[in-house]
Every structure is written in C-alpha cells, then in structure tokens.
C-alpha cells in the first residue's frame, strides 16, 4: 500500500470510496480544504430511489464537474 505524508497537498480531484462515512468525510475535506463537494448520489437517484438514465447521469455529472471548476 502506498502512503503519502500528511502535509502533501491534495490533488485537483478526490474520490472517496468505501462502505460507510464517505459523505461525512468528503464534506469535511471539502470544507476544510475549500474545494467543491459533489454528491453523486444526489445526481444518480431520482425520488423513491429510482435510478436516473445512465446518459442523463453522465451529462449531469459532467455539468456538476464543469460548474465546480474541475
């Protein structure tokens, strides 16, 4: 496993993956580092946990990244 010193600056994009606490961690990183936070679940899911069409999901994700300056 690669380790990075804690004083290393973050890159342009950070992808947080795992089985729990991802949103909390990502929001904390976003607020403390002053970088945009994009919640992909909000883009992916329609009301009542209906999945959005894959092409529309891609378009909305691309739009969110563009708006965030990523």
pLDDT in tens, 41-55: 999 999 999 999 999
Pick the closest to residue 64 from 29, 46, 41, 39 (CA basis). Answer: 39
The two structure tokens encoding residue 18: 């795992």
The two structure tokens encoding residue 10: 């973050």
pTM beyond cutoff 0.75: no
Q: How far apart are CA 61 and CA 43, in angstroms?
A: 7
**Per-residue pLDDT tens over the stretch 12-34:** 677 777 788 888 988 998 898 88
- Residue 28: other Cβ atoms inside 10 A: 12
């Amino acid at each position: 496993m690669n380790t990075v010193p804690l004083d290393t600056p973050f890159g342009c994009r950070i992808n947080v993956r795992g089985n729990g606490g991802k949103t909390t961690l990502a929001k904390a990183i976003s607020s403390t580092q002053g970088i945009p936070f994009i919640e992909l679940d909000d883009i992916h899911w329609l009301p009542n946990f209906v999945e959005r069409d894959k092409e529309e999901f891609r378009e909305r994700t691309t739009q969110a990244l563009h708006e965030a300056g990523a």
